[in-house]
Amino acid sequence: MRQVKLFVASALLVATCAQADEGMWTFHNVPTGAIKQKYGVDVTPAWLDKVRNATIRLSNCTASFVSPNGLILTNFHCSWACLDENSTKEKSLLEDGYLATSREKEIKCQTQVADVLVGYEDVTAKVAAATRGQDDKTANETRKKTRTQLEQACEQASKKDRKTGPLKCETVELYQGGQYYVYKYKRYDDVRLVFAPENAIGQFGGDPDNFQFPRWCLDMSVLRAYENGKPAVTPNFMRIDFNGPQDGAPVFVSGHPGSTDRMLTHAQLETLRNVDLPQWLLRNSELRGRYIQFGKISEENQRIIGAPMSSLENGIKVRRKELDALHSDELLARKLKDEGSLLQKVKANPEMATAVGNPWADIQKAQDIEATISVPYTYLEAAGGFNSRLFRYARTLVRGAAERAKPNEDRLREYRDTALPRIEQTLGASVPVYPELEQLTLSFSLERMREWLGPDHEIVRMLLVKDSPDSLAAKLIKGTKLADANVRKELWKGGEQAVSASDDPMIQLAQAVDAASRAVRKRYEDEVEAPVQTAQEKIAKARFAALGTSVYPDATFTLRLNYGSVQGWVENGQKVDSFTRLGRLYERATDAAPFKLPESWIAAQGKLDPDTKFNLSTNNDITGGNSGSPLIDRNGSIVGLLFDGNIHSISGSYWFDEQKNRAIAVHPAIMRAALDQVYGAKELLKELELAGRAGGT
């Protein structure tokens, strides 16, 4: 562990303990020695295997198996999409919560999947061999083709493997190109909703309390994996220890942190600070205003924006605090200094100097280009000008048709064969599309595209000579049939011929802007991504030479383990306790959302013990994507359900602040009390308790 700390963190940390509990470790490189030394816990290969096999990657979150019958524990907020898909504007499951009183009443989450990592293979050498000697642009293309080939070959092989059966295979880039792996997943694509509480307690405190601690959120939901129409058989599960952990106890988080930027260079951080984050925040702050005002019109509107609003506000808070973190001159100065010293090491070694050169300067050049194409990329290729679910369907259909006509490895990566089943699942899902919401987001984004590309940009002139953003959006949404899953399925099946024959106005829009969008993507890939990729691989080489793999890679929404202990922190000289308790929830409630308790909790108050532990804080190093992760004790039992970080955890995108960065979890005691006393979920509780006694992992 001594060399583990990334250079940014090492500088800013005022260390009080010898080693920081920092790091999002791949399961093939867990620092077991350091864990043993600090916490006296033996993290054995068997322990790791069991945890890995019980940990789930959802499409957007982490989760875990908690019974042998496919029962899945995750966060309430990880099920927003499922709740939203199964709501109408008259009745919102997000608001009301849901409890399946029998297996038949478990509701399909149409766009959810549950993946379990069952194996992995290091393919670094294969990727390196394929790209050797190529220029940046060619190497960038070859790398993608190679990854597509590796994934395809892996999935083909798994189909013939009786032991595993068909697997989903994904290549993973670790250490920014320093390593490549193929990760192999068992996928459950039939995931159903068993239980979710009301939004008012699932997200008690709403956006104001988001990323805060002390906290009182029952941010849990229960799903179930099905296979062949029956509950999946999942012998690899973890038991829940409803007593929860002691203060100070060692705890582990197994999960899928989505993305961190700790290895970015100074130049890349400046692009984030100067370009990407401010533009995103401006755009989405306005969208937030539009949502809020739209929601005031009626209760139906309020329901319609429930889920997108929660996601949006979460995103705004994250990026706002990320921007604050990047405004620390100390962070950027330290980054520069560390880059300088690594460069010195490179220069001191003639062989390395030849192989590596000055990749930081190469990245700086690419960033200068990125700054000039960021706006058209955002509005056209990233569809920031066409913010609409229906447009996204249209683009997928238009591009999917064109790409599927090409050989697998020549396609845009997102349309490779191994990715198609997931696309088909999404296109085929009968989920509600609210024309009012589509109108809002599409009109908004067209208007901002006009602002940022300028009224005289060719695409803007093409679209808005006769129309306003409002009138164009209205025509498109009124005219398109893409809200109908069957129409989408037919167009997907019909391929290029069906798509080019379509008179659907949204399809026509996607066609009309496709060439310009692809052109800016191509420029980005050739002039930014390609040189950056080459340079990053060189930096990885230099870093490995200096530090070995005693460092961990940035998060990539792949399985990681981190360790730490239950602990609070000191804020402005005040100690923040590790646990919150139920009593304070009732004191803190007000008469108005988001601090208003649901009826069920008001009614149950007399039955509940106010001393029940509610949420807890630990110093595990987590980030978005870890939501829903099990908090695991030394025995492999679940002692908490991770759902958030404190406000300081957001700067974890760039460095780990041992003093203040904390993870926040739901305490098992409140889960049990809620299921038992508030919701009367006797069957569910029985299943969990039975599983607990059976042992699980």
Q: Name which of 301 and 536 has its Cβ closer to a second copy.
A: 301
Whose tokens are 């039975």? That residue is: 690
Helix axes 389-404, 514-524, angle to 10 degrees: 80
Cβ–Cβ under 8 Å, residues 564 and 621: yes
Measured at the alpha carbon of residue 319, what is the angle toward residues 318 and 320, in degrees to the nearest 5? 95
* Residue 446: half-sphere exposure toward Cβ, Cα within 13 Å: 26
Residue 601 CA to residue 531 CA, distance in Å, equals 56
Q: Name which of 292 and 501 has its Cβ closer to a second copy.
A: 292
Q: Name which of 305 and 397 has its Cβ closer to a second copy.
A: 305
For residue 588, the minimal CB distance to a second copy (Å) is 8
Q: Name which of 256 and 448 has its Cβ closer to a second copy.
A: 448
Q: Name which of 291 and 569 has its Cβ closer to a second copy.
A: 291
- Phi–psi pair at 577, nearest 5 degrees: -70, 160
Q: How many C-beta neighbours within 10 Å does residue 554 have?
A: 19
Residue 556 CA to residue 317 CA, distance in Å, equals 21
Q: How far is CA 157 from CA 152, 408, 478, 544, in A?
A: 9, 17, 46, 32
For residue 473, the minimal CB distance to a second copy (Å) is 11
Q: Name which of 101 and 274 has its Cβ closer to a second copy.
A: 274
454's torsion region: left (phi>0), alpha (psi -120 to 50) or beta?
left
The 3-state secondary structure of 543-578, one letter per residue = HHHHHCCCCCCCCCCCCEEEEEEECCEEECCEEECC
For residue 450, the minimal CB distance to a second copy (Å) is 5
Q: Name which of 156 and 468 has its Cβ closer to a second copy.
A: 468
Cβ–Cβ under 8 Å, residues 211 and 627: no
For residue 456, the minimal CB distance to a second copy (Å) is 8
For residue 440, the minimal CB distance to a second copy (Å) is 7
Q: Name which of 209 and 687 has its Cβ closer to a second copy.
A: 209
Helix axes 435-453, 469-479, angle to 10 degrees: 140
For residue 591, the minimal CB distance to a second copy (Å) is 5
Measured at the alpha carbon of residue 195, what is the angle toward residues 419 and 620, in degrees to the nearest 5? 70
Helix (H, G, I), strand (E, B) or coil at 159: helix
For residue 221, the minimal CB distance to a second copy (Å) is 25
Q: Name which of 337 and 489 has its Cβ closer to a second copy.
A: 337
- Phi–psi pair at 3, nearest 5 degrees: -95, 10
For the beta sheet containing 613-618, the strands, ordered from the edge strand earlier in sequence to the opposite edge, are 25-26, 560-565, 250-255, 630-632, 638-645, 663-666, 613-618, 579-581
For residue 422, the minimal CB distance to a second copy (Å) is 33
For residue 655, the minimal CB distance to a second copy (Å) is 17
Identify the bridge partners of residue 188 per DSSP, sorted by sequence position.
114
Q: Name which of 282 and 602 has its Cβ closer to a second copy.
A: 282
Q: The tokens of 639 are what?
A: 């002692």
Q: Name which of 227 and 270 has its Cβ closer to a second copy.
A: 270
For residue 67, the minimal CB distance to a second copy (Å) is 37
Q: Name which of 101 and 293 has its Cβ closer to a second copy.
A: 293
Q: Name which of 441 and 677 has its Cβ closer to a second copy.
A: 441
Residue numbers at the binding site for a second copy (CB under 8 A): 205, 207-209, 212, 270, 273-275, 278, 281-283, 285-294, 296-297, 316, 320, 323-324, 327, 329, 440, 444, 447, 450-451, 454-455, 464-468, 470-471, 590-593, 595
Cβ–Cβ under 8 Å, residues 396 and 456: no
For residue 289, the minimal CB distance to a second copy (Å) is 3
For residue 81, the minimal CB distance to a second copy (Å) is 23
For residue 649, the minimal CB distance to a second copy (Å) is 17
Q: Name which of 559 and 650 has its Cβ closer to a second copy.
A: 650
Q: Name which of 267 and 681 has its Cβ closer to a second copy.
A: 267
Q: How many C-beta neighbours within 10 Å does residue 263 have?
A: 21
For residue 205, the minimal CB distance to a second copy (Å) is 7
Strands (E) across 15-152 are located at: 25-26, 55-58, 62-65, 71-74, 98-99, 107-109, 114-122
Single out the residue of 579, 618, 614, 630 nearest to residue 197, CA to CA.
614
For residue 682, the minimal CB distance to a second copy (Å) is 35
Cβ–Cβ under 8 Å, residues 55 and 255: yes
Q: The tokens of 567 are what?
A: 């602990």
Q: The tokens of 215 are what?
A: 């906290």
Q: Name which of 470 and 514 has its Cβ closer to a second copy.
A: 470
Whose tokens are 């250079």? That residue is: 7
Identify the bridge partners of residue 255 per DSSP, sorted by sequence position.
560
For residue 270, the minimal CB distance to a second copy (Å) is 8
For residue 460, the minimal CB distance to a second copy (Å) is 9
Q: Name which of 458 and 591 has its Cβ closer to a second copy.
A: 591
For residue 467, the minimal CB distance to a second copy (Å) is 6
Q: The tokens of 329 are what?
A: 């001159």
Single out the residue of 532, 419, 400 nearest to residue 148, CA to CA.
419
Cβ–Cβ under 8 Å, residues 179 and 428: no
Residue 389 CA to residue 308 CA, distance in Å, equals 12
Cα first-last separation, the chain = 27
Q: Give the CA radius of gyration of the chain.
A: 25
Q: Name which of 190 and 322 has its Cβ closer to a second copy.
A: 322
The string of DSSP codes covering 367-432 is HHHHHHHHHHIIIIIT-TT---HHHHHHHHHHHHHHHHTS-GGGS-GGGSGGGHHHHHHHHH----
